[in-house]
Amino acid sequence: MYIRHGRFCFFRHSPEFARLCFILSLSWLVFTLPVFSQSLTSESAYQDTLRLKLTQADSMFLQNNLGLLAQQYQVDAARAAILQAKLWNNPNLSISQGMYNPTNKKWFDLSSSGETAVQIQQLILLAGKRNKQILIARDQYQWNVYAFFDLMRTLRYTLHTDIFQLYYAQQSINLYTYEIQSFQRLVRVLNEQYQKGFAAKKEVLRLQAQLLDLQNQLVSIQQQIADLEAEVGVLLRVPRSYVIPELETDSLLSHLDMQQYALASLIDTALNNRADLHMAEFNLKMSQHNEQLQKALAVPDLTLAVGYDKNGSYVPNANLISAGFDIPLFNRNQGNIQAARSLVQYQQAQFQQARDNIVSEVTNAYQQALQAQRLYQSVDTSFYPSFQHLLEEVNLNYQHRNISMLELLDMYDAYKQAVLDYQNAQLNRLQTWEKLNYVIGRPIFH
C-alpha cells in the first residue's frame, strides 16, 4: 500500500517498505562509490599526484618558472649595459716605420737616418654625451626591472585563475560522475523492465541518450582539466601530474568583502604599483634623455693627439701635439633630433593612455567584484542537501512509474544546473578578486 502525496509516493511501514528502504540504501552506495573510485582512476592515470595550496604554488612559481628566469637575465644584461656606458673610449696608438731607406739602402732602418713616427690620440666626448648615455642605460635597466615584475604579475594571475578553475572543474567531475552512475543504474533497471514488457523501448533510448550526453559533458570537463594541468605544470615547471588544488574556499570567500575598499583608494594604489605604468614612465624618460643625447650629438667631439717624428717633419726628432674636430657645416643631426622630439610626444601619449587604461580596468574589476559578491550572497545553499535526498525519491518513484520520464529528467537537470550555478558563483567571486589583485598590481587578498 502507498499514499500518493503531491507528485511523489511515500510508502507506509510494511515489509515491502522495509525491503524498499534496503534497496534504496544499497542503490545509494552503488551511486556514490563510483565517485570515489573514479577519482582514484583519474589519479592513477598520472605518474604523480601534486597537492597544491596557493602559497605552495606561489613559492614553486617564483623558484621554477622559466619565463621569470629569462626576464631576470634581461635585467642582468641591462645592468651590464650601465657599466658599459660608464667606460671611457680607449686611446689610439699608431706607429709608422720606414720600410726601405734608399740613401743607405737599408731595410727597416732604425738608425738616426731612418724614419720612425709614433702618435697617440684620445677622443673626448663633448656636450655631456657620456652622462646622457649613462642615463639612458639606467632608464633601460629600470624598464627591465619593471618588465620582470609585470611578467610576474601576469603569470601569477594566470596561475591562480588556472588553480581556481581546476578546483571547481574537479568538483564538477564528482557531480557528473554521480549523475552518470545514477543513469546507468536507471538504464539497467529500465532494460530489465523492457525485457519483461513493462517499459517502452523509447524510454530506454531516451535515458541512453541522456546518459551519452552526460558522458560527453564529462569528457569535455576532463579535457579542460587536462589543459589546465598542463598549463599549471608549465608555469611551475613540474612533471605532468594529477594536480589537486587544496583550497579553503569557505575561509577565502568569507574574508572577501568589497565594502571595506573604496574605489578611489584602489585606483591610487594601482597607479602607484602597476609595473606596466612604470614601464611606460621609463619609456617616456628614455625618450626625453634620447632627445637630449641627439642634441648633444650635434656638437662635434674633440680628438687630441701627441706624437713624435724622427725625420719626417720640419725638424728632426719633432714632438707634435694636435687637435681635431668635425665642422658642423652640413650635418647637425637635425633629422635625429626631430625624430627624438616626436618620440617624446608619442611616449607622453602612451603614458597618459596607460594611466587611463588602469583607471578603467580598476573601475571595471571593482564593479565586477561587487556584482559577484551580491550574487554569491544571494544564493541560498540550504536546499542542496534536501535536493539530493529528493533525487533518491525521484529515482524510486520513476522505477515504480509514479512520475514520468520528463519529470525525472527535469529534476536531474535542475539539480545539476543548481550545483553548477553555485560553483560558478563561487568561482566567479574568486576570479573577480584575483582580477582585482591583477589590475591593482599587488595582492589585496591572498
8 strand-pairing partners: 5
Look at the block and give the residue holding cell 622630439. 341
Query: CA of 354: how far to CAs of 192, 289, 291, 361, in Å?
Result: 68, 20, 22, 10
Q: What are phi and psi of 118, to 5 degrees?
A: -130, 135
Closest Cα to residue 403, out of 416, 390, 415?
A: 390
**pLDDT the model gives residue 41:** 39
> What is the DSSP pairing of strand 106-107 with strand 302-309?
unpaired
**pLDDT the model gives residue 295:** 96
Angle at 257 between CA 426 and CA 367, to 5 degrees: 75
Q: What is the DSSP letter of 319?
A: E
> What is the DSSP pairing of strand 92-97 with strand 241-245?
unpaired
Determine, yes or no, domain membership for 10.
no
**pLDDT the model gives residue 387:** 64
- pLDDT 10s digits, 201-233: 888 888 899 899 999 999 999 999 999 999 999
Determine, yes or no, domain membership for 208.
yes
Q: What is the pLDDT averaged over residues 35-61?
A: 67
Q: How many angstroms separate the CA atoms of 173 and 204, rounded?
A: 25
Name the pLDDT band for 250 (thresholds 50, 70, 90): confident
pLDDT mean across residues, the chain? 84
- pLDDT 10s digits, 94-115: 999 989 888 888 888 888 888 8
Q: How many angstroms separate the CA atoms of 260 and 262, rounded?
A: 7
12 pLDDT higher than 60: no
Q: Which of 73-77, 251-255, 382-386, 418-422 has the lowest mean pLDDT?
A: 382-386
**Grid cell in block for residue 124:** 673626448
Determine, yes or no, domain membership for 255.
yes
401 pLDDT higher than 80: no
Determine, yes or no, domain membership for 319.
no
Determine, yes or no, domain membership for 94.
no
**pLDDT the model gives residue 2:** 36
Determine, yes or no, domain membership for 114.
no
Determine, yes or no, domain membership for 322.
no
Who has greater pLDDT, 193 or 364? 364
268 pLDDT higher than 80: yes
43 pLDDT higher than 50: no
Determine, yes or no, domain membership for 359.
yes
325 pLDDT higher than 70: yes
CB 113, CB 263: distance < 8 Å: no
Question: The whole model's pTM is what?
Answer: 0.81
18 pLDDT higher than 70: no
Amino acid at position 360, single letter: S
**pLDDT the model gives residue 351:** 97
Q: What is the pLDDT averaged over residues 379-403?
A: 70
432 pLDDT higher than 60: yes
Domain total in the chain: 1
Who has greater pLDDT, 443 or 74? 74
> Over the range 44-55, which residues count as b (16 or more CB within 10 Å of their CB) and which as e?
eeeeeebebebe
Who has greater pLDDT, 286 or 42? 286
Name the pLDDT band for 32 (thresholds 50, 70, 90): very low
CATH number for the domain that contains residue 415: 1.20.1600.10
Expressed as residue numbers, the domain containing 266 is: 18-89+125-298+333-440
> Long-range pairs for 405-411 at CB < 8 Å and ≥24 separation?
405/203, 405/206, 405/207, 407/7, 408/186, 409/206, 409/210
The full DSSP string for 87-142 is PPPPPEEEEEE-SEETTTTEES--STTS-EEEEEEEEE--TTHHHHHHHHHHHHHH
